[in-house]
Amino acid sequence: MPKHCCSECFGDRGLRRDIIPTLAPTLGICSYCGTSASLIDPTKLRDLFELLISIYEPDSAGKTLVDWLKADWDLFSHSAMDVAHSKELLGDILDDGAIVRKTFSPSAAYHSEALARWETLRDELMWKNRYFLDEVLDTDRLRELLGHLPADDMPTLWYRARILDGSDLYPIEEMGTPPPRLATHGRANPAGIPYLYLGSLPETAVAEIRPHTGEIACVAQFNIAPPLNAVDLRNPRGLVSPFLLADANAIGQLRSDIAFLERLGDELTRPVLPRGAAIDYVPSQYLCEFIKKVGYDGVVYRSSVSSGINLALFDHNKAVGGDVSRYDITRVSVEVRLA
């Protein structure tokens, strides 16, 4: 009986949204991951995978192609796609069961200086120059890379929290951004330039304001009508799709630049102590200013204090306020480790 695969086997946005729907799929149960989904003959993906693996070269000291594809592109991410199942599928795609047992390394022809230049720029922004910089990024390339990270499938309902200072809940008019004169520096915004910080869950919004046990939080709902034109920096490796690129050079260069995109995501997520925030936030503020300058509505990033996600919305007028609710802070958890 012929085998069929589905987009869930790979976990790749390009395959799921742009490629497999054009290959006349049929509904059924996937032969590899067991998902009920749109199925195709795996050999229909052969040209795409041959182009992708062309950026790797045989190397007796390297790793298997499956190992590289999992590590570099977060492919075969379905829980059922262990190494054995992934090798079986890749071998069927390429019609070559032997190649999946050989070892490879990425071609040395592709390299990126973006991460090193960001680290140099970051150091200059924090400690040397703030407005007239000696180090410059390749902004054309950065703009192109950000285009690989659209914030798809975002919720329309978001939340913002404030600690209650009194007995009455704040009205929705007081739950948005502060006036520019009162806007202090934040993870994404410089002082005096307010952004609307939102969480995907009430718990996320509350956790982000670092409450203490016994305090009361006001949590407001904000609705953002789609489409939300934002950059998603939560997991660049799992969001970029090599299958949407037309040649090996572009794929190889994208692979080299992923570490740079991950570093940018870390800038927006890493914990910062309040006493150092005025300086430590400067690199992420610079990044968000660039993202705003090239036309995006905001940036989505991981929360370092909860399981939800965060959105820094550059223009608060794109969000419509709704109900305001009271949340009692009953417990705040602290984790420590020996330094």
pLDDT digits (tens, 9 = 90+) for 68-124: 999 999 999 999 999 999 999 999 999 999 999 999 999 999 999 999 999 999 999
Q: Which of 175, 180, 174 is nearest to 199 (CA)?
A: 175
Mean pLDDT over 58-77 rounds to 97
For the record, the structure tokens of 298 come out as 């905001």
Mean pLDDT over 221-238 rounds to 96
Contact 61, 105 (CB under 8 A): yes
Q: pLDDT class for 266, splitting at 50, 70, 90?
A: very high
pLDDT of 310: 97
Quickly tell me which residue has 């379905």 as its tokens: 78
Q: pLDDT class for 41, splitting at 50, 70, 90?
A: very high
Sheet strands (E) in the chain: 26-29, 36-39, 56-64, 103-106, 157-163, 196-199, 216-223, 230-232, 298-302, 309-313, 320-328
Contact 75, 11 (CB under 8 A): yes
3-state DSSP assignment of residue 101 = helix
Angle subtended at Cα 145 by Cα 139 and Cα 146, rounded to the nearest 5 degrees: 90
For the record, the structure tokens of 301 come out as 């990033």
pTM for this entry: 0.92
Secondary structure of 211-274 in HEC code, one letter for each residue? CCCCCEEEEEEEECCCCCCEEECCCHHHHCCHHHCCCHHHHHHHHHHHHHHHHHHHHHHCCCCH
CA dihedral 41, 47, 50, 52 (to 10 degrees): -100
